[in-house]
A and B are shown apart, each in its own frame.
Chain A
Amino acid sequence: SSELTQDPAVSVALGQTVRVTCQGDSLRTYYASWYQQKPGQAPILVIYDKNNRPSGIPDRFSGSSSGNTASLTITGAQAEDEADYYCNSRDINSNHPVFGGGTKLTVL
């Protein structure tokens, strides 16, 4: 399958840890990248190559991968982390980029 599957919504209490997951067959071969998108804004890259953070991304964001699942973990979630999160990887059939459906993260 070329799809990447994400939970539609996840919530976390302020200051707690939350994991956002992404499942797909391609993740057994290819690393995922993760993007944060706030309402009315363009996506920004938060994790690439499984667990690398671009400059300026807080270290509370981390990534991991096991089998067909990639995960984005936010350790000590802040109010400003409330956003949609998308995973992205490579379609094993077409070799084209593919995105997950997105997870809406609510910080309570």
Chain B
Amino acid sequence: EVQLVESGGGLVQAGGSLRLSCAASGFAFNRYWTHWVRQSPGKGLVWVSRINEDGSSTNYADSVKGRFTVSRDNAKNTLYLQMDSLRAEDTAVYYCARSKVGVTNTYYFDYWGQGTLVTVSS
């Protein structure tokens, strides 16, 4: 059974840092792109970042570029999101998600974790 379990969320002051983890199991973690998607309270889903299978390629949404860093440890089947210089607007539930590539070369997210809440106080 495919499982993604996030951890590391919590309350942090603006300007602070936090590192999220996503433990993967039930599939060959090193064969999939994985992503972080966030959802602010009462709002919609927003893509944050992605990393390729071996960690050599990463991308970020403009809103987090230069402040967040995605990485992975395939030996530990774990995805990470290092979040620095946090702002109140980064408050959200952060989900990790596994993706596949569709026939038009578009990612779709076939498995999601349950999410971890990050609250940034100003």
* Chain A residues engaging chain B, CB cutoff 8 angstroms: 29-31, 33, 35, 37, 41-45, 48-49, 54, 84, 86, 88-90, 96-102
- Taken together as a complex, chains A and B put the C-alpha atoms of A78 and B95 apart, in Å, by 27
- Given A30-B106, A48-B108, A90-B106, 17 more contacts at CB 8 Å? A30-B104, A33-B108, A42-B95, A42-B113, A42-B114, A43-B95, A43-B109, A49-B108, A86-B44, A86-B45, A90-B104, A96-B61, A97-B99, A97-B107, A99-B46, A100-B44, A101-B44
Q: Mark B102-117, 1 if CB is under 8 A from A, else 0.
A: 1111111111111100
- The answer to whether B47 touches A97, judged by C-beta atoms less than 8 angstroms apart, is yes
- Taken together as a complex, chains A and B put the C-alpha atoms of A85 and B103 apart, in Å, by 22
Q: Mark B41-60, 1 if CB is under 8 A from A, else 0.
A: 00011110010000000010
- The answer to whether B45 touches A102, judged by C-beta atoms less than 8 angstroms apart, is yes
Q: Chain A residues near B46: list those with CB within 8 A.
A: 99
Cβ of B72 under 8 Å from chain A: no
Q: Chain A residues near B105: list those with CB within 8 A.
A: 30, 90
Contacts between chains A and B (CB distance < 8 A), count: 70
Q: Chain A residues near B61: list those with CB within 8 A.
A: 96
Number of interface residues of B (CB under 8 A): 26
Q: Chain A residues near B103: list those with CB within 8 A.
A: 31, 49
- Taken together as a complex, chains A and B put the C-alpha atoms of A30 and B105 apart, in Å, by 8
- The answer to whether B110 touches A48, judged by C-beta atoms less than 8 angstroms apart, is yes
- Taken together as a complex, chains A and B put the C-alpha atoms of A67 and B21 apart, in Å, by 39
| Pairs A–B under 8 Å by Cβ, sample size 26 | A29-B104, A30-B104, A30-B105, A33-B102, A33-B106, A35-B45, A42-B112, A42-B113, A42-B115, A48-B100, A49-B103, A49-B108, A86-B44, A88-B108, A88-B109, A89-B106, A90-B104, A90-B107, A96-B59, A96-B61, A97-B50, A97-B107, A99-B37, A99-B44, A101-B44, A102-B45
